[in-house]
Amino acid sequence: MRTFMHNPKRPLALSFFYLLPLTFYLSAGAAEKPADKPAIAPRPNQVVGNEITDKQRASVDKGLAWLASQQVKSGAYGSNYGGANGHAGITALAGVAFMSAGNLPNRGKYGENVQKCLEYTLASCQESGLIASDNAHGAMYGHGFATLFLGEIYGMAPDDEVKEKLQKAVKLIERSQNNEGGWRYMPVAADADISVTICQVMALRAARDAGLKVNKTTIDKAIQYVRHCQNADGGFSYIAGQGSGSGYARTGAGVATLYYAGVFEGNDLKRGLDFLKQFVVPGKAFQDGGMEGMYFYGNYYVTQAMFLAGGEYWEKFYPFIRDQLIQRQAQTGSWTGEAGDHYATAMALIILQMPNRYLPVFHGKGPGQ
């Protein structure tokens, strides 16, 4: 079994919160200075004081214990969605959930679980660079999540095998981008949608933060695609140029994509964030089975968007989603959602643990911040 050790060149207190370059890309999109730019200061590290509660801690503890109990010998998760052999993307999300609690491969209470997630993910890496099980549905979703996981692992526990497979995964993302600048379900440069695009951009951000080279043109084109998805009401549509209405999940994905691509200010961000604010009220919350029917996926990205926006966006949103998730948790410690209990529980735990501020990918900062 492979063992990943702490990097002796990095102080232990910073092993999770390592500080890399303050910008992701100085891309054409990020460099624009619109005349009417709003004052949105990305303050993801500002602690508002009411984030972590006793109920939140208890909920996370139960959730992590349940998730650990579900891991099979191969390290896989997602057998209740991706098939008997598991699902690489859901396994990666489970690994991110454990890492969000401060665990690394073979380090921490759930370090063994992270290690097994990593071994399964590496075993799912194909020669082409695609990270997926043979029966994967929507392969690029899982590939994006798995590449994100490897990026976080490599940034905190460098290893040659992880680096090699992460580089191949990045190259596959780059060559699968379509002419509009987005990605879709399969690793071919054909059509695109915003939900798959955010998965790839976030994966590229994690890889870049870990020190790997990412093509600047890829990011510039992604920014262009996402901006073409924005509607007049500030929300984002599923596919650029098709006139589909704005949605909660896709708007969270759109705003998060801009942040992770290096866009830290501008009217497009403010309009997107203000569109999301309308849902943070009793009775209008994004509920399971309503709107796009993607409760956990949607809130996963909206939470990141609000966290990166900081200020009152985060201060008002996080207690709202935190308390809603706690109410939805089963007595077993699990959650039930659109892609099975393993997926929903991993997503819920990542959302609930955002205030821990352990994962570097969630700490994008703008120029000069």
pLDDT in tens, 7-50: 433 333 233 333 233 334 333 333 333 333 333 333 455 556 67
Distance of alpha carbon 112 from alpha carbon 59, whole angstroms: 21
Q: Provide the pLDDT for residue 294.
A: 86
For residue 333, pLDDT beyond 90? yes
- The total of structural domains in the chain comes to 1
Higher-confidence position of 8 and 324: 324
Give me the mean pLDDT over the 319-339 stretch. 94
Question: Exposed (0-12), middle (13-18) or buried (19+): which is 69, by Cβ within 10 Å?
Answer: exposed
For residue 58, pLDDT beyond 70? yes
Give me the mean pLDDT over the 200-225 stretch. 97
Q: Provide the pLDDT for residue 79.
A: 81
Residue 14 lies in a domain: no
User: In the structure encoding, which two tokens stand for residue 24, read together?
Assistant: 């992701």
pTM for this structure? Answer: 0.86
Q: Provide the pLDDT for residue 137.
A: 65
Residue 137 lies in a domain: yes
Residue 39 lies in a domain: no
Confidence of residue 309 (pLDDT cuts 50, 70, 90): very high
Give me the mean pLDDT over the 243-270 stretch. 93
For residue 109, pLDDT beyond 70? yes
Q: In the chain, how many H helices and how many E strands?
A: 13, 0
Confidence of residue 135 (pLDDT cuts 50, 70, 90): low
Give me the mean pLDDT over the 249-274 stretch. 96
Q: Provide the pLDDT for residue 286.
A: 52
The closest of 300, 345, 338 to 64, measured between CA atoms, is: 345
- CA angle 132/134/136 to nearest 5° reads 60
For residue 275, pLDDT beyond 70? yes
The closest of 309, 252, 245 to 279, measured between CA atoms, is: 252
Say which CATH number the domain at 76 has. Answer: 1.50.10.20
Q: Provide the pLDDT for residue 50.
A: 74
Residue 11 lies in a domain: no
Among 44-48, 142-146, 223-227, 316-320, whose mean pLDDT is lowest? 44-48
Distance of alpha carbon 219 from alpha carbon 265, whole angstroms: 16
Residue 16 lies in a domain: no
Residue 103, domain extent? 21-29+50-362
Q: Provide the pLDDT for residue 223.
A: 98
- CA angle 292/266/199 to nearest 5° reads 40
Give me the mean pLDDT over the 66-72 stretch. 97
Residue 286 lies in a domain: yes
Among 12-21, 86-95, 311-320, 360-369, whose mean pLDDT is lowest? 12-21
Confidence of residue 4 (pLDDT cuts 50, 70, 90): very low
Mean pLDDT of the chain: 84
Residue 45 lies in a domain: no
Among 14-23, 36-45, 124-133, 257-266, whose mean pLDDT is lowest? 14-23
Q: Provide the pLDDT for residue 232.
A: 94
Higher-confidence position of 161 and 11: 161
Residue 9 lies in a domain: no
Give me the mean pLDDT over the 340-369 stretch. 82
C-alpha distances in Å from residue 227, one per residue of 247, 269, 307: 15, 10, 20
Q: What percent of the chain has pLDDT above 70?
A: 79
For residue 2, pLDDT beyond 80? no
For residue 126, pLDDT beyond 60? yes
Q: Provide the pLDDT for residue 18.
A: 32
